[in-house]
Amino acid sequence: MVWVTAQLSGTTEHGLVRRSVVTVVSLPERGALALSDGWDRFWNGYVDLADKAAQNRLLLEEIRRKDAELNRHREILSENERLKKLLDIKTTLAAPPMAAEVIGRNPSNWFNTLTINRGSDEGVTRDMAVISSSGVVGRVVTVYAGTSRVLLLTDPSSAIAATVQRSRENCILKGQVGSACEIKYLSQDADIKEGDVLVSSGLDGIFPKGIEVARVTVIDRSGSKYFLSVKAAPVADIRRIEEVLLMAGKAGD
C-alpha cells in the first residue's frame, strides 16, 4: 500500500526504472511489430499483385478495343472531311456534279487511268470532267454500264487547257511518262516561276474555269529557242484518291 501510494503521489523516483524496463521490453516489441508489418505487406502485396495482373489484362483488352474503335472513328472523320471538301466544291459549281468512288487502277504501267463506280446507267458520258477536293484529276474516256474509265492528267494522252493563276498566261498541261506533267507552248518571255499554281482556263470545254490543276516545279529556259520547258506536279494526290466528282456540260464562269 505504501508503495502504491508513493507511486501515485509521485514522491518516489520510479521514472528511471520504468523508462528502462519499457525501453528494454519495447525492443523485441518493435521487432515483432516490424516482422508483423512486413509479413502483412508481403502478403497483401502478393495478393494485390495477382489481382492487379488480372486487372491489367482486362484493362489491356479494353485499351485494344478502344484503339480499334478510335481507328474506326478516325477513318470516319477523315472520310467526313474529304466529303465535306467535295461538298464545298459541289456547292460552288454551277452544274450539278455526281460523286463517284475509285474502285481500281490500270494494271499496265504505260497508262494512267482509274476505274470509277459510275457508268452510263447513272448518266455518265464521255469527256465529263473529274475533280477531287484538291483539284483536277482527269476526264472520262470510256463509259460502261456500271463503271467508267478516267484518264488522269498525268497520262501522256491527256491535255488540259490551263492558266497560270498569278500572271494569267495561257498554256496546255500535258501528262508525261512517269506520272509527271509538262506545260507546253509557253514562250521564253512568259511570266512564270517555280511554285506558280495552274488553274483550268475552261477553254477546252471540258473543265470548269478556275479549278486548281498543278503546281510548277521546274523551269528550264535553256532548251528550245521559242518555248520554255516547264515541269509541273498535279495538286491532287493521284495515288490516294478515293472519291471524285464528275462534272458534265460545257465549262463556264
Partner 1 sequence: MELSLHGNRYRWLIAIALFLVPLQGTLLDISVAGQLRPDMALVAVYVAGFVLTPFRATLLGFLAGLLVDFLSGAALGISAFSKMLAGMLAASGRRILFLNRALAHSAMLFVLSCIDGFVTSLFLVYFYEGYFFTTAMAGMIIIQAAYTALAGTIIIIAADPAIALMRKIRGWLDKEQTNAVSGI
Can you give the binding site for partner 1, defined by CB under 8 A? 103-113, 115, 141-142, 149, 155-159, 174-180, 239
In this complex, which beta carbon is closest to partner 1, that of residue 97 or of residue 207? 207
Q: How far apart are CA 132 and CA 185, in angstroms?
A: 26
Q: State in angstroms the smallest separation of the CB of 208 from partner 1.
A: 24
Please choose, from the candidates 138, 181, 137, 132, the residue with its C-alpha nearest in 3D space to the C-alpha of residue 156: 181
93 φψ region: left (φ > 0), alpha (ψ -120 to 50), beta (else): beta
In whole angstroms, the minimum distance from the beta carbon of 209 to partner 1 comes to: 24
CB 221 within 8 A of CB 228: yes
Which cell is 109 given? 504501267
Q: Mark 50-82 as b/e (b = at least 16 C-beta within 10 Å).
A: eeeeeeeeeeeeeeeeeeeeeeeeeeeeeeeeb
Q: What CA–CA distance (Å, rounded) separates 74 from 227?
A: 47
**Minimum distance of partner 1 from residue 175's CB (angstroms):** 7
For the bound state, the minimum distance from the C-beta of residue 170 to partner 1, rounded and expressed in Å, comes to 19
Task: Tell me whether residue 89 or residue 153 sits nearer to partner 1 (CB atom).
Answer: 153
Question: To which residue does cell 528502462 refer?
Answer: 20
Shortest distance, position 106 Cβ to partner 1, whole Å: 5
Give the Cα separation of 68 and 8 in Å (integer): 77
Q: Which is nearer to partner 1, 156 or 210 (CB)?
A: 156
Comparison of 134 and 179: residue with beta carbon closer to partner 1: 179
How far is Cα 200 from Cα 204, in angstroms, rounded to an integer?
Answer: 9
Measured from the CB atom, the residue of 122 and 182 that comes closer to partner 1 is 182
Least CB distance to partner 1 at residue 151 (A): 8
Closer to partner 1 at the Cβ: 132 or 158?
158
